[in-house]
Amino acid sequence: MYIILGATGHVGSAVAQSLLDQGEEVTVITHDALKKEEWQQKGATVAIADVHDANQLRTVFKRGKRLFVLNPPAPITTDTAQEERKSVQSILAALPDSGIEKIVVESTYGAQPGYQMGDLGVLYELEQGLVQTGIPTSIVRAAYYMSNWDMALATAQQAGQVHTLYPANFKLPMAAPQDLGAVGARLLQESVEKTGLHYVEGPERYSSADVAAAFADALGKKVKAVETPREAWVSTLQQTGFSRPAAESMAAMTAITLDQTYELPDAPMRGTTTLQDYISALVAHSK
């Protein structure tokens, strides 16, 4: 049995669906009871659990041998880094005596030690904590999710604009959730002894201008990338609903990415889904 923590997000659901498509037995963990029927119809077993309750998680973990871990994102109205560290500690506390024999964890490019830097610091701590459990662990450091651009669909449709914190022509690694899901499922199915650090991105690197061009092509209208200058990052994020700590954390993570103060892989694993493929499907699904 495969256990998927974070199955209601883009990547976790892709991992679960990939395994189900191969006829594997899957239990998905969600805190949302409304998701239960949807996943049961897909053939999964559903466990309702609070990620902050280590005892609940351990009870679910005992149902399987292989575990996919995606730390759920905290609401942007909170101190996201602080809240996500709480769920990390709960996940780690649930693992002793759980019977899990192998873990695959979803992390991110740029993961590194540090506190107020969004996912980069939190997921690094999760990586290190899982390795320290002694349970064989494979780490997926994923590129910037193409699904992060989903929120740009409305402004692209209505105003012909894609808002971005990056300069329009700045290219960064991106990956489609379905490609990350396929990698996660494959790593879960590997032998227990086979572990490692895996960087995953799409066929090539893309800029915000490329995103705008993809929306323009899919929508059949002019769309341009509109950059928010660095000095306005925090205030702009707050205007969209981020708390002050969450905005500062996101700004710090964006600065690290933009300044490339982290190591980029020389030979990442590459998915097959292009940015144009992803945006075209997003637009088609919205109609």
pLDDT at position 37 is 84
Say how far apart CA 238 and CA 243 lie, in whole Å. 6
- The region, left, alpha or beta by phi > 0 then psi within -120 to 50, assigned to residue 176 is beta
Say how far apart CA 141 and CA 148 lie, in whole Å. 16
Residue 36 confidence class, pLDDT cut points 50, 70, 90 = confident
The 10s digit of each residue's pLDDT in 78-108 is 999 999 999 999 999 999 999 999 999 999 9
Per CATH, domain 2-146+175-203+261-272 is 3.90.1150.10: no
Of these ranges, 34-38, 74-78, 256-260, the one predicted with the greatest mean pLDDT is 74-78
Mean pLDDT of the chain: 95
pLDDT at position 243 is 97
Q: Tell whether the model's pLDDT for residue 287 goes beyond 80.
A: no
How far CA 103 is from CA of 42, 150, 225, in Å, comes to: 23, 29, 39
The 10s digit of each residue's pLDDT in 239-278 is 999 999 999 999 999 999 999 878 889 899 999 999 999 9
The pTM (predicted TM-score) of the whole model is 0.93
pLDDT at position 110 is 95
